[in-house]
Structure 1
């Protein structure tokens, strides 16, 4: 019997896998999950997003906002970088006085600049940065920040695709 290999993933599938892996890691480390599933477009729409393309096909939950910062999002701790467009944000109180946060935004700013814009306020607030031991080669920039013996944790990843960066941030913080 001849040896054959399965065809590779369709174009754009890596974008979904990398972003999905980062989000899954953030949710796993923070011990929280949303009750509403995310709706992703086809792989081709993920590879070249349209600014008018809807991100979610269902209404966002009470702690989530599409296209803007949700009320209660800790902007003093995680500000939106200049010139960035907020895609989705959330802030949900969880046990221990913590708030589960997530932020997805799009920007033309370079990956290092986006990470620096998030890094500065977190370090100033007493978080410690720990770059990944094994960086994901599909991400242009990534890091994690922790405070309070790891009780507070923020994971950040930046995907660089066709001259546009998408920053995904998730974690749990005291606000």
Structure 2
């Protein structure tokens, strides 16, 4: 189980780091000329990157959107933290286990984000695993059903902007 959680954590950490870099405008490719964009260009760069990936979402029961909550997103499973702005969401009701993810930004601290989601997930029967730090990314896993259902929260601060990713993999019928 530890290796399984480690692999998931690494994937979510990569997603949150990519999202944070895109939002912060740190990707040279984001503006097409090889130079770093100015901070004011970051949101449009992030939107264009996220829009490209959202448009590549396969049809069926899965969906994704940018700068909003995707219709049908399971907010009872993954609530949006008060004061947070969604950057992208996705939900795949056809998968087994079902998958949902939220990428958002906020002015809250990493500890405040992890505390908010710890309360939300433990209230749903998940057990919190010890918080970890990988480089500048804070992360916490939550498990339920003997480790068959997992949620990961990863938080990174880049250029003063806090971005977090919440990814869940749960049994069908447990997402509402």
Q: Is the 8 A contact 2:13 2:154 kept in 1?
A: no
Please report the TM-score for the alignment, with normalisation by the length of structure 2. Answer: 0.68
Whether contact under 8 Å (2:126, 2:142) holds in the other structure is yes
Matching of residue 79 in structure 1 with residue 76 in structure 2:
no
More helix by share: 2
After superposition, the C-alpha distances for 1:119-160 in whole angstroms (9 at most, x for unaligned) are 11100000001125x631221x21000111111101111001
2:142 touches 2:150 (CA, 8 Å); kept in 1? yes
| Residue 147 of structure 1 pairs with residue 144 of structure 2 | yes
Change (3 A) 1:154 1:128: same
Matches within 5 A, 1:1-175: 21-23=10-12, 43-44=27-28, 50-53=42-45, 54=47, 55-58=49-52, 59=55, 61=57, 63-96=63-96, 98-131=97-130, 135-139=133-137, 141-173=138-170, 174-175=174-175
The structure with the largest alpha-carbon Rg is: 1
Moved more, 141-150 or 165-174: 165-174
Offset, 1:25: 7.2
Number of aligned residue pairs: 141
* SS of residue paired to 1:71: coil
Aligned partner of 2:4 in structure 1 is none
Query: Residues 12 and 154 of structure 2 are in contact (CA less than 8 Å); yes or no, is this contact kept in structure 1?
Result: no
CA RMSD, Structure 1 to Structure 2 (Å): 2.9
SS for the counterpart of 1:52 is helix
1:73 deviates by: 1.7
| CA drift at 1:51 | 2.6
Offset of 1:71 from its aligned partner?
A: 1.9
- Structure 2 portions without partners, runs of 5+: 1-8, 31-35
After superposition, the Cα gap between the structure-2 partners of 1:42 and 1:25, relative to the gap in structure 1 and judged at 3 Å, is closer
Q: Unpaired segments of 5 or more residues in structure 1? A: 1-19, 27-37
